[in-house]
Every structure is written in structure tokens, then in C-alpha cells.
Copies of this chain bind each other. A is one copy, B any other.
Amino acid sequence: MQHKIGIVGFGGMGSWHAELIDKIDGLTVAGIYDIRQERIEYAKSSGLHVYGNFEKMLADPEVELILAAAPNDLHKPLSIQAMQAGKHVVSEKPVTLNTSELVEIIEVSKKTGMFFTVHQNRRWDEDYLTMEKIYREGILGKVHRIEPRVHGSRGIPGDWRQEPERGGGMVLDWGVHLLDQVLRLMGDIKLTHVHATLTNITNRMVDDGFTALLFFENGVEILVEVGTSNFISLPRWYMQGRDGTAMINDWNLNGKIVRAVGKDEQDTIPVRTAAGITKTMAPRREDTIHEIPLPVVQSDIKDFYKNVMGVIEGKEEPKIKLPEVLRVMKLMEAVFASAASKQVVQFEVTGSEKELKEVNEDHE
């Protein structure tokens, strides 16, 4: 079966998708639509068909699926229009600027019966998948803290990504990936509280970075950090368990795991600094720890589209589920709320709190 996709918005991500789709059996780009003349020229020079407007793309019966890769504020109207025209939709991330817009989309998907999903592509990033494996396999013992970071030093791109009304800012741009990754990592565990801060170092219009400390019901704390004024990058991932620590330094998956070997030092040699000594913070003797390489997991992002086709053909469950996407969107709103109020905000009610609430309601 051959599926055809129309790409709306042929910027950096749009053309990335076109290149990817070119390598996938069963899926072809029917054509693209963009309002920018230079992108139209570029598409034509790449041998792609260019529709004169979005309506013409939707009117093409060959087009079964639409990719919404235009600026963030357009995901909603494009997606709704496409589903109402009988097309399935893949939206770029962030799917919308807030939850109520996403709920509207979900309603249209239910009403029209069209499949709608979001390109949460970084679930396939090998750094994430490798940390997930370390976590699931208990390589570090009981994990208590995880710190995913993405650091750049360019500020934010000087296009629509600096405009709040178009969905600019780093919470929506990179937070949507990192928050999705850590929620997925924690699975069914409730996220009870959030404390977040935003930065405006290079840009006053939208956040150019943030930190979000997330508290999960199982005691795990996750510090998510995105920065665009970091001229030296801290590690992409840092994970602490009772018996070891794992670190992934960079996009190239440099990193390591260091584990205790269960052997104590009887005669710790203190570290001397200019002004004092410390045994507590002295480095470990080599024979009390063991360094192992990262169990690197490989992935293939083509699986995203293969899954989309499987869903359309009625053979598979979607890998990116809308309740997950909605939860990430709600979490981004909690990040904004915490930063604005400078307070810890509650996110999901825990089991015991919920029971208590029900008991109280019974007595009202």
C-alpha cells in the first residue's frame, strides 16, 4: 500500500521530513505548500510538487495524510481544516500553544474519525533511549534524581520563534521534548509538584531557557533544564541511583556509568585544598568503583512514520498517544504558572490526597 503525504510549511523541519520520507517504503511526498517564494523554489529544485494553496493540497484525493510543519500557532487551524477535509494529520511539536487548543483538535479527530498524532521525534533520540534502558534495567540501583539538560549559546532563532503569539520560546520548543521524555520514563508514576523558573537573557518577548524541578510520587526528582546562553554545556543527561551514576555528555553519546563495587575504603585519603581538608568529598579509590560503558541503544526515526501508516491501515496502536501529548501540554502550562507565581505548583493529585479529597467531599 502506498501512502501519500502533503507537507504544509517547508522550512527546516519540513524539508527534514521530506528527506526522511524519501527513505521510507510505502510513503511518498505528494507535494508541499509554503507561503515563502524561496522555499517554493527550493522545493521545486528538489523535484517536489508544489501546491498553489492549502485548499488545493486538501482537494487532492491522492493525499491521505497532512504534515503540519508551519509555525506553531498554525498547527491547530491547519490540522482541523485537514481532518474536516478527510485527511489524517501529523503535527509538528509543540502541537498547540495551550491545552484548550489541543482539546479542540482532539474533538475534531473524534468527530471526523481522522487519525491525529504529533511528531514527538525525540522519543527516538538515542541518548534518551540509552538512559531509559539504564533506568529500566536498574543498572544504578534505585534511581532518585535525573537531570536532562540541553544547552546552547546562540540565544533563540531570530524568526517567528521569538514571537509569543506564534508559540515561540524554549519551553514550547525544547521543553516539549524533554518533558515528554521524562514523563515517558516515569510511566504511570504521578507527577505531584513542579517548581520552575524562566530566563530572558537574550530575548524579552519569550523565554530563552528554563529550569523545571519535577517531583514524582515515587520520590524521584527530575531537574529539566534548557538554556541558550550556555557557552559551556553541562552533560545532556545525569542520572543518580543508590549504587551508581550515569552521564551522557553530548549528542554523540560520549559518557559513562560509574558504579560502586560494594567495597569500602578503610583509609580514605582526604582531599586537601588551599583552605581545608575533606574526607567526605574525596575521590573514590579506583578499586571501590567500576566504570562501565553506556549500553547505547540504537533507533530508527523511520519507525515514527511506519507506525503512522500502521495506524492508518488499522494494524497498530499509535506510538504517540494523545493523552500523553495532552499531559505534556498541561505540564508546560504548570511550568509557566510556577515561574509566573514564583511558587511550587501542584500538578497531579497523589493517591492518598485523592482519597482524602473524596472522603472530604462525602462529608460535605
Contacts and interface: CB of A to CB of B under 8 A. Distances in A.
A232 B247 contact: yes
Q: Which of A156, A275, A299 is most buried by chain B, counting CB atoms within 10 A of its CB? A: A275
A144 B227 CA distance: 12
Interface in A244-284: 244-247, 251, 256, 258-260, 265, 268, 270-271, 273-284
A242 B229 contact: yes
A154 B284 contact: yes
A323 interface: no
Contacts of A280: 152, 154, 156-157, 173-174, 228
B251 A231 contact: no
Contact of A274 (B201, B273, B298): B298
A133 interface: no
A273 B193 contact: no
B301 A193 contact: no
Most buried by B among A276, A282, A301: A276
Interface string A144-186: 1100001111101100000000000000011000000000000
A280 B344 CA distance: 29
Nearest to A229: B240
Q: Which of A150, A232, A344 has the most CB of B within 10 A?
A: A232
B240 A227 contact: yes
Interface stretch (A43-51, A54-62, A121-129): A121-129
A72 interface: no
Nearest to A142: B201
A289 B238 contact: no
B342 A193 contact: yes
Contacts of A336: none
A244 to B, nearest CB: 5
A100 interface: no
Interface string A207-243: 0000101010000010100011111111100101010
A91 interface: no
A231 B288 CA distance: 11
A153 B228 contact: no
B273 A245 contact: no
Given A153-B284, A232-B256, A125 B344 contact: no
A272 to B, nearest CB: 8
Of the listed residues A12, A245, A301, the one surrounded by the most CB atoms of chain B closer than 10 A to its CB is A245
Nearest to A304: B275
Contacts of A279: 12, 154, 157
A276 B195 contact: no
Given A195-B213, A234-B238, 11 more contacts: A12-B279, A16-B276, A121-B276, A145-B199, A153-B245, A153-B260, A153-B284, A232-B245, A232-B258, A251-B281, A274-B298
Interface of A: 12-13, 16, 121-127, 144-145, 150-154, 156-157, 173-174, 193, 195, 197, 199, 201-202, 211, 213, 215, 221, 223, 227-235, 238, 240, 242, 244-247, 251, 256, 258-260, 265, 268, 270-271, 273-284, 289, 298-301, 342-344
